[in-house]
């Protein structure tokens, strides 16, 4: 949380735009974009750089929503960069097959087709227009994908966002902060603008097209159902489903509202709130870390897809797993979680609690001692470590199929050892406003509501019941760019 607060303070300092507008204002624009995440600003940039008058309404005091917080894993399927990095052929059908497998056929097929056909072109456009830099030289292996597709943005999303924001402003789009869209204006069945509040004042924007780019609804318990409702949340407070609700008020329909992207690797850093430790885990699999349940038994391939690990995790006693590490693995793990905002102060506190309170960061000079602090069966854990080492020596994980490339060395047979809890966490929601193949919002009769478009997480049914690694950034940038192209075409 401290990490998020620090980011927020920085962001407020970054943002000077939006304050020049007077009270109770009426603005005439070509396009009103609601929300300044990846979807909103990609769309705004493209429209403004094609001469359209664009106004972006942002309810928070800082821009970016989830797009400012996100981990920066970006799937660049089919792009020139993916080819240059050694995957010469990764056709749209392969993406469709992977997303349908990971989304369990719950995907919205209209938007999935749009994504598959356009994401290579849009990734090329993002890269050649905004020149992001990436941390990794190599594309990352992910179990969800048949080809390697993921790269991490340098400085994660918050490292890249200011670059795009400044390009958007240079292109002439106006960003109004602290300006909450509350109601769509409808005349003769057409959306012609939006009414917003800034403090006690009203801002009315009349526009030829309105784009909902308001993100998800993870921070709004009233819109969540189980198992999302009781999962630990680690997303922004801005994700309250305003776009979904404004759209419904003008006749739109929603789909897949029960789904969200749950990961099996959160720690409960505050009651009800998670911190992701996925970067620590990634490093642990390259060392000698392995997962066990409360009984001290290994139950899953640690390199399986997030979804598969989660499915196994939920069946375990207490509905959680534990990551067991020797000291060299722990050191790498710590390096990873520090990139996700965990501080030395946090670590000191959690290690001092030594399993007596959440989050469980238990440790001990011996495996038995660490297991006792974590509340895990020590005898079984000892046998599990011995079995893990046997599998490493054999060069094959006959028990769970962890890839050989991630069984590089045996776990040390001498302490100290560290054991960290793994709980389900979520931030991103999959529930969508339903759109057509031009991202026009549809009414109950499946006819477009004229003048109203949507992009980004507000139309996340593209992923099905679960999104794949790096595909949210891919979808938000792709649908953002496409929305601009469709709105501009419809204005001709």
Ligand X SMILES: Cc1cc2nc3c(=O)[nH]c(=O)nc-3n(C[C@H](O)[C@H](O)[C@H](O)COP(=O)(O)OP(=O)(O)OC[C@H]3O[C@@H](n4cnc5c(N)ncnc54)[C@H](O)[C@@H]3O)c2cc1C
Binding residues (CB under 6 A) for ligand X: these are 34-40, 57-60, 64-67, 69-73, 180-181, 213-215, 234-236, 238-239, 242, 427-428, 456-457, 470-473, 476
CB atoms within 10 A of CB 61: 12
Both structure tokens of 18: 């939006």
DSSP-assigned beta bridge partners for residue 283: none
Nearer CB in complex with ligand X: 374/455: 455
Nearer CB in complex with ligand X: 67/305: 67
Burial class (CB in 10 A: 0-12, 13-18, 19+), 397: buried
- Contact of 216 with 66, CB cutoff 8 Å: yes
Nearer CB in complex with ligand X: 38/388: 38
DSSP 322: E
Task: Output the CA–CA distances (angstroms, integers) from residue 490 to 31, 41, 459, in the order listed.
Answer: 12, 20, 20
- Based on C-alpha coordinates, what's the Rg of the chain? 23
Nearer CB in complex with ligand X: 191/385: 191
Q: Which residue has the tokens 């054991």?
A: 419
Query: How far is 264 from 247, CA to CA, in rounded Å?
Result: 32
- Contact of 472 with 76, CB cutoff 8 Å: no
Residues 6+ apart with CB under 8 A from 124: 79, 80, 81
- Contact of 432 with 254, CB cutoff 8 Å: yes
Closest residue to ligand X using C-beta atoms: 37
Residues 6+ apart with CB under 8 A from 374: 322, 355, 360, 362, 419, 421
Instruction: Compute the least distance from the CB of residue 69 to ligand X, in Å.
Output: 4
- Contact of 90 with 62, CB cutoff 8 Å: no
Nearer CB in complex with ligand X: 176/376: 176
Nearer CB in complex with ligand X: 15/292: 15
Nearer CB in complex with ligand X: 203/367: 203
Query: How far is 304 from 310, CA to CA, in rounded Å?
Result: 10
Nearer CB in complex with ligand X: 43/110: 43
Instruction: Compute the least distance from the CB of residue 374 to ligand X, in Å.
Output: 26
Instruction: Compute the least distance from the CB of residue 39 to ligand X, in Å.
Output: 4
Both structure tokens of 348: 């000191």
Instruction: Compute the least distance from the CB of residue 120 to ligand X, in Å.
Output: 16
Nearer CB in complex with ligand X: 175/300: 175
Instruction: Compute the least distance from the CB of residue 42 to ligand X, in Å.
Output: 8
Instruction: Compute the least distance from the CB of residue 149 to ligand X, in Å.
Output: 11
Instruction: Compute the least distance from the CB of residue 308 to ligand X, in Å.
Output: 19
Instruction: Compute the least distance from the CB of residue 123 to ligand X, in Å.
Output: 12
Task: Output the CA–CA distances (angstroms, integers) from residue 391 to 73, 334, 380, 381, 400, in the order listed.
Answer: 31, 26, 16, 15, 10
DSSP-assigned beta bridge partners for residue 420: 323, 361
Both structure tokens of 317: 């006693």
Instruction: Compute the least distance from the CB of residue 92 to ligand X, in Å.
Output: 18
């Amino acid at each position: 949380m401290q990490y998020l607060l620090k980011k927020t303070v920085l962001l407020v300092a970054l943002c000077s735009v939006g304050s020049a507008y007077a009270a109770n204002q009426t603005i005439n624009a070509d396009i009103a974009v609601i929300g300044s995440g990846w979807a909103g600003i990609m769309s705004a940039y493209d429209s403004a750089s094609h001469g359209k008058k664009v106004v972006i309404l942002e309810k928070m005091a800082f821009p970016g929503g989830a797009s400012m917080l996100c981990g920066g894993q970006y799937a660049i399927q089919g792009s020139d960069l993916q080819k240059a990095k050694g995957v010469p052929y990764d056709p749209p059908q392969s993406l469709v097959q992977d997303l349908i497998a990971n989304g369990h056929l719950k995907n919205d097929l209209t938007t999935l087709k749009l994504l598959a056909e356009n994401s290579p072109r849009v990734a090329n456009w993002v890269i050649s227009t905004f020149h992001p830099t990436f941390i990794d030289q190599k594309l990352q292996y992910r179990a969800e994908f048949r080809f390697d597709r993921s790269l991490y943005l340098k400085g994660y999303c918050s490292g890249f966002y200011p670059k795009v924001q400044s390009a958007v402003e240079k292109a002439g789009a106006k960003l109004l902060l602290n300006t909450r869209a509350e109601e769509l204006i409808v005349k003769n069945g057409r959306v012609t603008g939006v009414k917003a509040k800034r403090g006690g004042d009203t801002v009315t924007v009349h526009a030829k097209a309105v784009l909902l780019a308001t993100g998800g609804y993870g921070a709004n318990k009233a819109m969540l159902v189980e198992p999302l409702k009781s999962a630990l949340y680690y997303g922004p407070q801005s994700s309250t489903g305003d776009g979904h609700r404004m759209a419904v008020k003008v006749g739109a329909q929603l789909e897949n509202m029960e789904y969200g992207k749950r990961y099996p690797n959160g720690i409960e850093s505050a009651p009800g709130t998670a911190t992701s430790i996925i970067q620590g885990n990634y490093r642990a699999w390259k060392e000698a870390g392995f997962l066990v349940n409360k009984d001290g038994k290994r139950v899953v391939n640690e390199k399986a897809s997030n979804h598969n690990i989660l499915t196994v995790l939920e069946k375990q006693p207490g509905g959680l797993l534990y990551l067991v590490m020797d000291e060299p693995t722990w050191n790498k793990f710590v390096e990873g979680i520090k990139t996700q905002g965990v501080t030395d102060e946090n670590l000191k506190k959690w290690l001092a609690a030594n399993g007596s309170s959440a989050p469980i960061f238990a440790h001990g000079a011996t495996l038995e001692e660490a297991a006792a602090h974590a509340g895990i069966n020590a005898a079984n854990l000892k046998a599990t470590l011995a079995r893990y080492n046997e599998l490493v020596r054999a060069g094959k994980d006959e028990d769970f199929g962890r890839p050989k490339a991630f069984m590089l060395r045996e776990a040390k047979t001498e302490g100290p050892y560290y054991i960290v809890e793994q709980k389900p966490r979520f931030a991103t929601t999959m529930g969508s406003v339903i759109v057509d193949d031009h991202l026009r919002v549809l009414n109950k009769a499946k006819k477009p509501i004229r003048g109203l478009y949507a992009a980004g997480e507000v139309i996340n049914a593209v992923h099905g019941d679960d999104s794949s690694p790096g595909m949210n950034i891919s979808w938000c940038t792709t649908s953002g760019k496409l929305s601009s192209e469709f709105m501009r075409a419809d204005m001709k």
